[in-house]
Structure 1
Amino acid sequence: MNFLIFLFVITLFTIVSVNLQAEGFILHPFVKGLIILAGSIFLTIFVYLKLKKMTSSQILFCFLGLFLGIFTGILLSLPLLILSSNLNFVAFSFITAFGYAGAIFGFKKAETIKIADILWIIKKEAIWEEPKILDTNVLIDGRIADLIELGFVKGTILIPRFVLREIQYIADSPDPLRRAKGRRALDILQRIKRAEKIRFEIVEKDIPEIKEVDTKLIELSRILKGTLITNDQNLIKIAQLRGVPVLNLNELAQAMRPPVLPGEVLRLFIVKEGKEPDQGVAYLDDGTMVVVEEGRASIGRTIDVVIHSVLQTGTGRMIFGKPKTDDPFSEKE
């Protein structure tokens, strides 16, 4: 059934093309009306049954092949139309065959030539606005979905097929922890796909000569002229050396933390003892560790802490303070 509908659509395009291009091949207005009516009905069925099951690459290449085939058929059949008007049917059959062959060729070629393969000759603004390529660890982290849903990350989000395979491999791991991370990443992917403020696309392009996923990501980002989003510090350094733009969610999180200044008083719950004698440890809402000198005696209590120094490290920041001496509001939790 799908084959017949597909063939009918090609025939419809062919009739119209020949009618427009070839002198003498003129249809009666009533016949034209029937063709347009039938074409509308069958084209609707075709779109519902065929395009619904096709990828964007297959649709694009199929129609490119269809029109190129019809155009080639028209050019090659012009001598027949010039020689004799009696050869119209032969020319029509010739054009139909080329149109059908072009559509099938385009459909098959879409399996090997993906849209991503031709992006390097097309300005990225023409197809994908501000493409951003996501690394596996960003999907496992999950914060990227919140940023997208809130509108802080816009444009097109690209997930390479090899990254998706890596996530599926992690989700099928016998290790419960790794399996949970993989399934979380798949859930995050679903959230991103449903987001309304971005365009989501799975990139089929692979780079078979490169085995490592990290190197593939850098090369793909360079080809697509996109921005790589990752939390991997080593990958970030290599990407920057290659001139690939990188966004680091950890750096963004650090930049968004509220500032804490020496002399400021924070009300904190002392969770546990510190490494040094008489130290207590508390945490801010964003997870920042606060080391409280002379705070061991206050473990399990909420007290006022006077900040005296802030230490910035490669992984974040540590805050040091002491209990406020006159704290009449200390309370047992």
Structure 2
Amino acid sequence: MNVSVLGCGRWGSFLAWYAARVGHEVVLWGRESSLNLARFQAERRNEYLTLPPNVRLSDNLEEALAHAEIVLLSIGAQEVRSFAAQLVKQKNWRGQTVVLCMKGLESDSGKRLSQVFAEESGRSDNLAVWLGPGHVQDFVAGIPNCMVIDSLQEHLTRQIVAAFHSPLIRFYYGQDLLGCEIGAAAKNVMGLAAGMLDALGYGSLKGSLMARGAREVSRLTVALGGNALTAYGLSHLGDYEATLFSAHSHNRKYGESFVRKEAFGKLAEGAATAVALREIGCRVEMPISQAVYEILFDAKAAPEKLVDLFLRMPTTEF
């Protein structure tokens, strides 16, 4: 199958590496100005991996679309709307299957990324998401993991799983697109909170953060029309180890750096997601997400806001 990966950052380059590894002919696209693409063109490698021979590099979006039966999209969540609008104007756009491979919500509207892309493209039947735990460094080292594919069309979900399943990634069929997207995005906010706890020396509280964080996201998912159990699946709770504990997690490291007042130069989607959750989460109680927002954007002191979460009045667990 012909696969085009749009976006050549850490995750996009892994997707190209992985798609080629499972037998597809791959085009990896990056913008002409992309330093990541320039390095691949010069060396065919980055700090994480070396591209196999069946990955072709391109900075031409028309060329990438002409090649593609399936498009794997891996860009910043806040770029999805503008990029989708650009994509569907290309002459080689044929309504190809698009798999959104990033985790986040549109900060201005609080909308899920599949909603954003569908609004710009005019259709939702060709959209899927690829979510769940796993770091590039571990996959390239041969350490397997489980992930989830979801869409509004069961046959599309099954088609994508069949195309990418391998011993390195065991895929599950998602059954709640809304819940998977909300959970995957909100997981990054919990990652920020975990990093803040680490910076304060409160790492032992991350177990409670996991339990109550999943409960908080479950409440929101139900309020939005999703399945309460999805928060306890691979897209959210299943991704906590990779986000709350891993040294590779950008969101955890961002939260830690923020509290320590240190610069952090890489993308951490959790900050924008905290804004989006404030937009859509007002109908349910979301104390962890609210605390993270106030620390990041209202200059509230992290020690007091985070410790206050554990000093709230007793209540039933479920």
Give TM-score, length-normalised by structure 2. Answer: 0.30
Q: TM-score, normalised by structure 1?
A: 0.29
If you compute each CA radius of gyration, which structure gives the higher value, 1 or 2? 1
Q: Which has the higher contact order (CA 8 A, sep 6+)?
A: 2
Higher relative strand content: 1
